[in-house]
Amino acid sequence: MESFVLQDKANELLAKAIYVSGAPLSMVEHPLWQEFFKLIRPAYSLPTRKSVSTTLLDAEFAKTQNRIKGIIADARNLALQCDGWSNLRNESILNFIINTPQPVFVDSINTKDNRHTGEYIAGEMKTILMKYDPRKFLVVIGDNASNMKKAGELVENEFPHIVSIGCIAHTLHLLCNDIVKCESVSNCFKRVVDIIKTIKQSHILTSVLSEINETKGNKTTLHLPVVTRWGSFLHCLDSMMNNRVSLQTLAVSEKVGNAISKDIKTNILDDDVFWVRIEKLTNLLRPVVSWISRLESDKLNIHNTHGALAEIEDALKVSLPESPLSKSDEKIVLMKMETRKDFALKPIHLAASSQGHTLKPDEQLSAVEYICKISTDMEHIEEGIVLTELAQYRSREGMWAKELIWMALEKGKIEPCTWWKGLCGHTQLSKVANRILGMPVTPPCCYREVFQYIW
């Protein structure tokens, strides 16, 4: 009996490893794998390819579904993330992930010949919401495409307690694109891309540059920007700056002959204009891309959103006058920054800001109004008590007058949700705070391999 149990358990673990790693199902039939398992466990019999693709897969799917249902059922505050994309077969897919607050993959829909209209996406969102109890959800989040915005509006109309927000990281990527599209910037990037492509398309230049980098101990390779991920333009510039000395050595090397055109060689050796522009462009883009990286993590960052946008706006105002942008392009970027910020910031982001001291008077009022709205939608919460506790919290009175309460939070050693649960958990305000602070601001996990969110 024990041997049968071990056999079943081994089959289950092997099958799960195959599914998660994307290994071919046929590996269980390969003679070398069979020889390997025979060596380490002679008594173990590998499952057939058919059982891996049917019986074991069905059993793992059922077990995973039950685990997901349990996780979601135990959670009090949920957010629904949605993203559309095309798979390797060019099939149109909608991914749905629920934050509990940890992201849990719940569904992937092949939309077939259905157009991705706002109405269609909203219908699929509503199906998920109804399946897992819409009262638990506070946020639906997608990218900033017009159809996703429309879908969010339709969901808000049907479920007034739910707020639709756009992906903050996507908003910042779009801001990078606003900068890159400026004529004075695009001309500079064209030269950078020409240099990188020229080198990558020549085996001679690639080989000589590799030799130079090895001699100088430089391990940084040149990177082309990714067209749809505009934050990658900074990584492209960084790779150029890190290879500056090597590129200039390459430009004057006798080994390259005529492999580098005169124009490209002139740019590479131009310390006074070309490299200065690249450096100033990196200074311009770095604050934006830095916040993209922070916000694209799975950590709860809604309390950082207002501060992030304010910090980026301040950084742009400082770096733009020193950048290679023309005065007209500077105005365009600042105008785009304001537009992106106005679209991205909702009352929920303002309410999540720590104590609200960085908010303008009208933003503070919106934050308070939203907190009151949330408290009226929650069971066993009294709006009057929440308002009293909010006033004490913001003025550091009552229980919040004790310095000990603030020490861990101010030193950045504890996440806001943990702080509210652990030190202020007996207050009604803490329940409202955790409902808000548990919401995501970007759906990065929709872009990644979904299996890590299943197992």
Domain ranges of the chain: 2-63, 73-167, 168-345, 370-437
Q: What is 73-167's CATH topology?
A: Nucleotidyltransferase; domain 5 (3.30.420)
Weakest mean pLDDT among 192-201, 228-237, 239-248, 393-402: 228-237
Task: Check residue 157 and give its pLDDT.
Answer: 95
Task: Check residue 83 and give its pLDDT.
Answer: 84
pLDDT per residue as tens digits for the range 262-316:
999 999 999 989 999 999 999 999 999 999 988 887 788 999 999 999 999 999 9
- Measured CA to CA in angstroms, residue 98 lies from 5, 79, 291, 339, 453 at distances of 34, 6, 23, 29, 10
pLDDT per residue as tens digits for the range 116-126:
889 999 999 99
Q: Are 146 and 448 spatial neighbours (Cβ–Cβ below 8 Å)?
A: no
Task: Check residue 195 and give its pLDDT.
Answer: 95
Report the range out of 141-150, 239-248, 253-262 with the highest average pLDDT.
Answer: 239-248
Cα 264 to the center of its chain, rounded Å: 36
Task: Check residue 4 and give its pLDDT.
Answer: 63
For the cut 50, the answer to whether the pLDDT of residue 226 exceeds it is yes
Task: Check residue 354 and give its pLDDT.
Answer: 67
φ, ψ for residue 94, nearest 5 deg: -115, 120
pLDDT per residue as tens digits for the range 183-211:
889 989 999 999 999 999 999 999 999 99
88 pLDDT band (50/70/90 cuts)?
A: low
Contacts of 191 (CB under 8 A, 6+ apart): 267, 274
Give burial (CB, 10 Å; 0-12/13-18/19+) of 203.
Answer: exposed
Q: What is the pTM of this model?
A: 0.84
How far is it, in rounded angstroms, from Cα 352 to Cα 370? 10
Task: Check residue 454 and give its pLDDT.
Answer: 43
Task: Check residue 407 and give its pLDDT.
Answer: 83
What would the mean pLDDT of 421-445 be, rounded to a whole number? 88
Q: Are 167 and 231 spatial neighbours (Cβ–Cβ below 8 Å)?
A: no
Cα 332 to the center of its chain, rounded Å: 26
Weakest mean pLDDT among 13-17, 189-193, 358-362, 435-439: 358-362
Task: Check residue 80 and give its pLDDT.
Answer: 95
What would the mean pLDDT of 13-26 be, rounded to a whole number? 92
For the cut 70, the answer to whether the pLDDT of residue 388 exceeds it is yes
Task: Check residue 161 and give its pLDDT.
Answer: 94
Name the more confident of 52 and 407: 52
Mean pLDDT of the chain: 89
Task: Check residue 57 and give its pLDDT.
Answer: 94
For the cut 70, the answer to whether the pLDDT of residue 87 exceeds it is no
Report the range out of 224-228, 241-245, 411-415, 450-454 with the highest average pLDDT.
Answer: 241-245
Task: Check residue 409 and give its pLDDT.
Answer: 77
Helix H or strand E segment including 399: none
